[in-house]
Structure 1
Amino acid sequence: MCLGLSACPFVDRLPPLPQYKPVLMPRSQLEQAVAVLPPREMRNTGKIYLRDPYIFINERYEGFHVIDNQNPAQPQPLAFVRIPGNVDVAMKGSLLYADSGADLLTFDVSNVQQVRLLHRVRNAVPELPMPELGQVPAEYQPQNRPADAVVVGWQKL
């Protein structure tokens, strides 16, 4: 067994941790970017919620899809709700909760034809984490970012 990491021959064989830089967005742009858009292709999906007859599917870092599932053999995409920095969603009744960077958003989805943002709580959740264990170079550390910048994603270097 290795007694000290510096004396352990296996330490030199470990691959280096990947490096990431944050994808930043000015807060004012982040808050203006939330929008209900036409349906689009799914690429990087996350959680799925069923609120009969509708399905809500999270698109990691980007928002959520609204799908009409009245005919399960032919589900119909209805809309895409753009939310920069969105990783997670949760539902209770006709309310859908979503993160947007460090903010918590509440949407009314009682009428899927008119999904609407009800409320935003700034800095309610921790900063968006890296997708895997990695390192952030010094120039991208929080103290070196613009004061109004919000992390909405991560880019592997």
Structure 2
Amino acid sequence: MHKLYTCLLGSILLLSLTACPLVQPVDRVPLPKYKPLLMPRIQLEQAVAVLPPQNMHNTGKIYLRDPYILINERYEGVHIINNQDPANPRPVAFLRIPGNVDVAMKGNMLYADSGPDLLTFDMSNMQAARLVNRVKDAVPELPMPETGDVPAEYQLQNRPADAVVIGWQKL
């Protein structure tokens, strides 16, 4: 008999909990909207250059190659900083690489993505990086940020045939 009362009391408690929700529904937060940044392929291939130091504003990955630090500027290229004196790091150059998100080094060779292409630079002289190879369409196209949405007018199927995605801009 005692088991019956315990089971009955437990059932009543469970039913009363479901009758009064503990969590109130919340409005869905709209996803941010993005548009692809496009560049004609010919312009992408001609845009790589070593420039004077630039301001940092949207940095990504950092690579240490003593005494230099390479800092990715998302979708734009790589800052080259002389860190011989860590108390006084000195920007020395900016390697413009449209669509760049990632870099890696082996020896004196820097490997960087440029939109869908894989570029190889000779970095023997960090202040005068030299492009030595481009492999077209070697990496997947830059994906849209995971927590976003693309309005219909910016869907990639509507882009010009020679356009390459070099980044994403929040609307």
TM-score normalised per structure 2: 0.80
Taking the aligned partners of 2:143 and 2:83, their CA distance within structure 1 comes to: 33
CA RMSD after TM alignment? 1.6
8 Å Cα contact 2:100/2:114 also seen in 1: yes
Aligned to 2:54: 40
Select the structure of larger CA radius of gyration. Answer: 2
Aligned to 2:151: 137
Taking the aligned partners of 1:134 and 1:52, their CA distance within structure 2 comes to: 38
Taking the aligned partners of 2:43 and 2:161, their CA distance within structure 1 comes to: 14
Q: How far apart are residue 34 of structure 1 and its match?
A: 0.6
Does residue 29 (structure 1) correspond to residue 56 (structure 2)? The answer is: no
SS at 2:148 equivalent: coil
8 Å Cα contact 2:79/2:94 also seen in 1: yes
Taking the aligned partners of 1:135 and 1:103, their CA distance within structure 2 comes to: 25
State the identity as a percent. Answer: 76
Give every structure 1 segment of 4 or more consecutive aligned residues whose post-TM-superposition deviation is greater than 6 Å.
none
Q: Choose from 110, 115, 128 the match for 1:114.
A: 128
TM-score normalised per structure 1: 0.87
Flag structure 2 segments of 5+ consecutive residues without an equivalent: 1-23
Taking the aligned partners of 2:76 and 2:124, their CA distance within structure 1 comes to: 21
Does residue 127 (structure 1) correspond to residue 132 (structure 2)? The answer is: no
Q: How many residues align?
A: 148
Flag structure 1 segments of 5+ consecutive residues without an equivalent: 1-8
- For 1:59-98, list aligned pairs within 5 A: 59-98=73-112
Q: Which has the higher helix share?
A: 2
Taking the aligned partners of 1:48 and 1:17, their CA distance within structure 2 comes to: 29
User: Structure 2: which amino acid aligns with 1:33?
Assistant: A
